[in-house]
Amino acid sequence: MLIQPWDAAVDDAEWQAWLARTDRFGVLAVNNLDPAAAPLLVPTHFTWAGGQLLLHLARPNPVWAHLEVATEVRLAVIGDYAYIPTYWRAKAGGPDEDGVPTSYYSAVQFVCRPTIIDDPDGKAQILAAQLEDFQPEGRHAPVAAGEDPYGRMLPGIRGIRLEVLRVEAKFKYDDSNPVEHRERVIGYLETRHHGLDAGAAAQQRHRLDVIGDWKNHRGQR
């Protein structure tokens, strides 16, 4: 994806902190065996495990034949997005109707090397890690191969470990525009309060606090 300098993550800690606040739900993209056909896109929860992503999918999923031969796949996560209308972005002194609309959003994409996990113990480890991630309060039976209730269900899934090769992180919130403009849009988002406006406003405020005026920030780098 295109990442302008002012849209880039300040550092790895920024996108990692953002990811930790999300539901860690994304889209796994796998090249099609037929190069003339569209790639396969699989919506899925995943667990970030420091350099790798863990997930599992149902055995009947049509992605497996394509995933088995893939050397690289991409997993994309998008959040805190909002449509920014024309009249919010009009240039100072110009008519509102001459403004240019845009989209605000946070996006993290992982380029990964996949490994399919079929042994029962390996799948149980992935399930246990995901339950700890998404259900930290517990209230579920132990996950172990050969033990009910989950042990007998393991043949119905396959696990996936994705070794993260590189990360592309983008936070698109008009950071190249003047501080006054960004503060004004934050107010508009908080007033409109539609969909993910609150999250977009919070992200824009965070970026404003970290970056401040882009021209000065750029000069300090």
pLDDT in tens, 127-180: 999 999 999 999 999 999 988 899 999 999 999 999 999 999 999 999 999 999
Cis amide linkage into residue 149, ω under 30° from 0: yes
Q: Which residue has the higher pLDDT, 168 or 94?
A: 168
pLDDT value for 146: 87
pLDDT for position 221? 54
Average pLDDT of the residues of the chain: 94
Weakest mean pLDDT among 89-93, 124-128, 167-171: 89-93
pLDDT at 220: 60
The candidate with the shortest Cα–Cα distance to 174, out of 113, 111, 66, 91, is 91
CB crowding 146-184: b at 16 or more within 10 Å, else e: eeeebbeebeebbbbbbebeeebbbbbbbbbbeeebbee
Question: Distance between CA 117 and CA 101 in Å, rounded?
Answer: 45
Q: Give the pLDDT of residue 99.
A: 86
Encoded amino acid at 156, one letter:
G
Contact 19, 9 (CB under 8 A): no
Mean per-residue pLDDT for 49-60?
96
pLDDT above 90 covers what percent of the chain?
A: 89
pLDDT at 94: 63
pTM of the entire predicted model: 0.94
Backbone angles phi, psi at 101, to 5 degrees: -75, 165
**Per-residue model confidence as pLDDT tens digits over 12-31:** 999 999 999 999 999 999 99
Cα 9–Cα 10–Cα 14 angle in degrees, nearest 5: 70
With 0-12 / 13-18 / 19 or more C-beta atoms within 10 angstroms meaning exposed / middle / buried, residue 50 is exposed
Rounded mean pLDDT, 173-190: 95
